[in-house]
Amino acid sequence: MTTPVGATQIEIAKFRCYVVPSDSDQTYLLEVRNDESARKYLAAQASKITIDLPSQFLDKADIFSETVNNRLANAFSQVNRLKKMSSLLADLLDSALEEEISQHLMAVLNQIKEAEQATAEAFQALLKAGKPS
């Protein structure tokens, strides 16, 4: 049950490392802010992030506790929100105001954190649910 959510965690971590490398190099962020094609590429990469909920969740959600259901639903929502926010950033033309582009970019960066946190919480909830009492 944890594998799909764990895979999503890895995808988001890879995406985060691509967007904001661990060495704090902001070259890519500047490119995204200044270049429409870089924004479109970022959105294309974000669109590849998937969260496949466990089939048990889709078939029989009542087998999970309310906490697990809530965590899974939140993770699903946050990942989809990341994709949507990245898409909105990609829709901004180079002629858009720099401040508007920067605000959208900051929203995407914050959403990466939100999606990472939500998937981590869902993963932990699934792990806890899978342990015998």
pLDDT of residue 25: 84
pLDDT of residue 79: 97
Dist. CA 56–CA 16, nearest whole Å: 29
83 within 8 A of 49, measured Cβ to Cβ: yes
Average pLDDT per run of 10 along the chain, which is 133 residues long?
A: 89 94 87 96 96 71 82 95 97 94 96 97 90 57
Residue with tokens 């764990």: 6
Q: How many domains does the chain contain in total?
A: 1
Q: HEC profile for 75-112? A: HHHHHHHHHHHHHHHHCCCCCCCHHHHHHHHHHHHHHH
pTM: 0.90
- Residue 86, CA distances (Å) to 14, 16, 73 in order: 15, 13, 20
Domain range for 41 is 3-130
Dist. CA 88–CA 7, nearest whole Å: 25
pLDDT of residue 60: 67
Provide the sign of the torsion angle of the four alpha carbons 93, 94, 100, 101, taken in this order.
positive
CATH number for the domain that contains residue 19: 1.20.1440
